[in-house]
């Protein structure tokens, strides 16, 4: 994510409203002791600052719109021109296999479904065509995610990409990412994506170890993965990046270092390094519980793996685009991920896809048949709409800054008219003593340990700010 999300008209209006309302921070959160937000002191911060990663709960949100009022509210939103950073998300809910660790597995894939699904998606792209919220203002990044978009048949991939370009007002330099797997992604599909205008591929490699890959339900061997990456790069038409995961059962530090080395040796445009989260309800959670697989890495091991990735990629002169993403070439921008974690508008298509128009969050029908029925009946399949929190742009700016690993307090104060530095100082002083942050000229910078615990820190920070704003609100 870019460090500070670009200001737009709505942000300025938002900050003016806050100043007019005379909102001010009061120190301490309403009904909560300050210590609630503290990290452990006097221990190795990288491995022991907290007991474990805390669960992320949905950010600060406004209230739900009554179901009977959703369509009316949407109509008003659709007549409002879209301004500022904007992205589009196209959801493809199919996976050819269920990876053991995945909590996002949606639907099994069949060839017959590919064309039907593509037809319906293209119909959905047309539903808001001509409306200001869809067509007035450039879209800067499009992301085909899932699921496994590369599971779709070649001709469907091409016509879907072409439909997106035809029905959405893409900026001239729009990043168009196709996410997927290398299994069953051969030259025909690669060329179809390129013919459709894809200029970035984000591929879930996770580990190059064939043993770990196969155990986790990834079908391609290390050699096949390498051959496919080489082929995709040889077209010289798009950024090629991979996701790696650390912390799998059987993935020692040696294996993890080999994963990073292999990704570097493949000469890719960039890579993500994510920590494995084992959820109880996933097949992996069950297999570990039942003793069928060894445990995944514990927190000290994971923190050491994270540190190894940061150190290795820094030594090899990769550019850090966010705490989890590195670029090697100028082709890689990681635009979608950077923008969507900030306050960008997001036009969303497909079952279960979530969008955002000026802070109004909507969720498409997540039932595949219900989504199909609504689209085929000519209705945008929105099942839920949430109005913006009054501080939406402020909280998203904080979230985006934390993803970058630094937060410019004077800049936040200037943009939003809120006394952030004073309100946050008791918290940041404690985090600094705990070895998680450093203050550099009023800019809060996460240390390596702070980067590892970023999700905890972000959640605590958002909670603290929310309670503090509530407590200090005056009119």
Q: Least separation, in Å, of the C-beta of 344 and ligand SF4?
A: 23
Q: Least separation, in Å, of the C-beta of 96 and ligand SF4?
A: 7
Contact 355, 341 (CB under 8 A): no
- Residue closer to ligand SF4 (CB basis): 95 or 401: 95
Q: Which stretch binds ligand SF4 (CB under 6 A): 40-48, 102-110, 382-390, 398-406?
A: 102-110
Torsion over CA: 163, 169, 173, 179 (sign)? negative
Q: Does 104 bind ligand SF4 (CB under 6 A)?
A: yes
As beta bridge partners, residue 202 has 179, 241
- Residue closer to ligand SF4 (CB basis): 146 or 342: 146
Q: Does 181 bind ligand SF4 (CB under 6 A)?
A: yes
Contact 342, 334 (CB under 8 A): no
Q: Does 202 bind ligand SF4 (CB under 6 A)?
A: no
Q: Which stretch binds ligand SF4 (CB under 6 A): 98-106, 114-122, 225-233, 284-292?
A: 98-106
Q: Residue for token digits 């802070």? A: 359
Three-state SS at 469: helix
Contact 182, 224 (CB under 8 A): yes
Q: Does 250 bind ligand SF4 (CB under 6 A)?
A: no
Q: Which stretch binds ligand SF4 (CB under 6 A): 143-151, 306-314, 410-418, 452-460?
A: 143-151
Distance from C-alpha of 47 to C-alpha of 434, rounded to nearest angstrom: 12
Q: Does 279 bind ligand SF4 (CB under 6 A)?
A: no
- Residue closer to ligand SF4 (CB basis): 108 or 130: 108
Q: Which stretch binds ligand SF4 (CB under 6 A): 63-71, 100-108, 161-169, 463-471?
A: 100-108
Q: Does 350 bind ligand SF4 (CB under 6 A)?
A: no
Position among 29, 45, 84, 204 found at the interface with ligand SF4 (CB under 6 A): 204
Please state the length of the chain.
475
Contact 131, 79 (CB under 8 A): yes
Q: What are phi and psi of 327, to 5 degrees?
A: -115, 145
Alpha helices in 244-323 (DSSP H): 253-265, 283-289, 299-315
Q: Does 453 bind ligand SF4 (CB under 6 A)?
A: no
Contact 250, 294 (CB under 8 A): yes
Distance from C-alpha of 228 to C-alpha of 127, rounded to nearest angstrom: 37
Q: Least separation, in Å, of the C-beta of 92 and ligand SF4?
A: 10
Q: Does 201 bind ligand SF4 (CB under 6 A)?
A: no
Cα 405 to its chain centre, rounded Å, is 15
For residues 299, 302, 306, 309, the Cα torsion angle rounded to the nearest 10 degrees is 170
Residue partners of 403: CB distance under 8 A and separation at least 6: 1, 322, 323, 341, 454, 458
Q: Does 450 bind ligand SF4 (CB under 6 A)?
A: no
- Residue closer to ligand SF4 (CB basis): 124 or 179: 179
The site that binds ligand SF4 (CB under 6 A) totals a number of residues, namely 11
Q: Does 147 bind ligand SF4 (CB under 6 A)?
A: yes
Position among 48, 53, 83, 98 found at the interface with ligand SF4 (CB under 6 A): 98
Q: Does 93 bind ligand SF4 (CB under 6 A)?
A: no
Nearest to 127 by CA among 365, 359, 339, 388: 365
Nearest to 308 by CA among 393, 244, 222, 376: 244
- Residue closer to ligand SF4 (CB basis): 181 or 341: 181
Distance from C-alpha of 134 to C-alpha of 129, rounded to nearest angstrom: 6
Q: Which stretch binds ligand SF4 (CB under 6 A): 96-104, 276-284, 410-418, 421-429?
A: 96-104
- Residue closer to ligand SF4 (CB basis): 146 or 359: 146
Q: Does 222 bind ligand SF4 (CB under 6 A)?
A: no
DSSP letter at 121 equals H
Token pair of 95 as six digits: 């996976």
Q: Does 282 bind ligand SF4 (CB under 6 A)?
A: no
Q: Which stretch binds ligand SF4 (CB under 6 A): 22-30, 145-153, 166-174, 310-318?
A: 145-153
Q: Does 177 bind ligand SF4 (CB under 6 A)?
A: no
Q: Does 95 bind ligand SF4 (CB under 6 A)?
A: yes
Q: Does 54 bind ligand SF4 (CB under 6 A)?
A: no
DSSP letter at 85 equals S
- Residue closer to ligand SF4 (CB basis): 104 or 235: 104
Position among 25, 37, 50, 105 found at the interface with ligand SF4 (CB under 6 A): 105
Three-state SS at 142: strand
Position among 99, 205, 238, 262 found at the interface with ligand SF4 (CB under 6 A): 99
Q: Residue for token digits 């439909």? A: 163
Please tell me the number of Cα atoms within 13 Å of 381 on its side-chain side: 26
Q: Residue for token digits 């993500």? A: 272
Q: Which stretch binds ligand SF4 (CB under 6 A): 141-149, 236-244, 311-319, 322-330?
A: 141-149
Residues making contact with ligand SF4 (CB under 6 A): 95, 98-99, 102, 104-105, 146-148, 181, 204
């Amino acid at each position: 994510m870019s460090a500070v999300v670009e200001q737009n008209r709505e942000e300025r209006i938002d900050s003016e409203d806050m100043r007019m309302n005379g909102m001010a921070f009061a120190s301490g959160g309403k009904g909560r002791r300050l210590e609630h937000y503290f990290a452990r002191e006097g221990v190795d911060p990288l491995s022991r600052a907290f007991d474990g990663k805390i669960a992320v709960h949905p950010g600060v949100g406004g209230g739900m719109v009554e179901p009977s009022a959703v369509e009316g509210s949407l109509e008003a939103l659709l007549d409002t021109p879209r301004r500022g950073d904007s992205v589009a998300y196209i959801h493809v809910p199919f996976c050819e296999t269920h990876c053991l660790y995945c909590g996002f597995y949606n639907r099994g894939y069949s060839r017959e479904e590919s064309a039907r699904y593509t037809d319906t998606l293209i119909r959905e792209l047309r539903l808001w065509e001509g409306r200001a919220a869809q067509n007035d203002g450039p879209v800067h990044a499009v992301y085909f995610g899932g699921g496994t978009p590369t599971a779709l048949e070649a001709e469907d991939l091409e016509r879907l990409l072409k439909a997106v370009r035809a029905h959405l007002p893409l900026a001239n330099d729009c990043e168009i990412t196709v996410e997927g797997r290398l299994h069953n992604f051969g030259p025909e599909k690669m060329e179809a994506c390129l013919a459709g205008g894809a200029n970035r591929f984000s591929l879930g490699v996770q580990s190059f170890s064939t043993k770990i890959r196969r155990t986790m339900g990834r079908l391609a061997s290390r050699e096949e993965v390498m051959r496919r990456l080489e082929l995709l790069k040889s077209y010289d038409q798009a950024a090629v990046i991979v996701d790696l995961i650390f912390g799998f059962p059987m993935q020692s530090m040696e294996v993890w270092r080999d994963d990073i080395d292999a990704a570097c040796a493949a000469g890719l445009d960039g890579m993500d390094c994510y920590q494995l989260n084992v959820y109880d309800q996933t097949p992996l959670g069950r297999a570990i519980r039942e003793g069928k697989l060894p445990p995944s890495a514990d927190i000290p091991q994971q923190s050491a793996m994270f540190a190894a990735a940061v150190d290795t990629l820094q030594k090899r002169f990769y550019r850090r685009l966010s705490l989890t993403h590195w670029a090697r070439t100028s082709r890689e921008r990681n635009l979608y991920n950077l923008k969507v974690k900030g306050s960008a508008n997001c036009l969303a298509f497909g079952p279960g896809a979530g969008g955002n128009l000026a802070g109004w969050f909507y969720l498409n029908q997540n039932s595949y048949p219900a989504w199909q029925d609504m689209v085929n009946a000519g209705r945008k399949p929105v099942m839920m709409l949430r109005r913006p929190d009054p501080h939406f742009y402020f909280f998203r700016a904080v979230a985006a800054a934390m993803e970058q690993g630094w937060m410019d307090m004077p800049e936040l104060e200037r943009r939003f008219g809120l006394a952030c530095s004073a309100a946050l100082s008791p918290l940041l002083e404690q985090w600094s003593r705990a070895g998680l942050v450093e203050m550099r000229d009023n800019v809060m910078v996460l240390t390596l340990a702070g980067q590892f615990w970023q999700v905890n820190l972000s959640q605590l920070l958002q909670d603290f700010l929310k309670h503090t704003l509530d407590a200090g609100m005056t009119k």
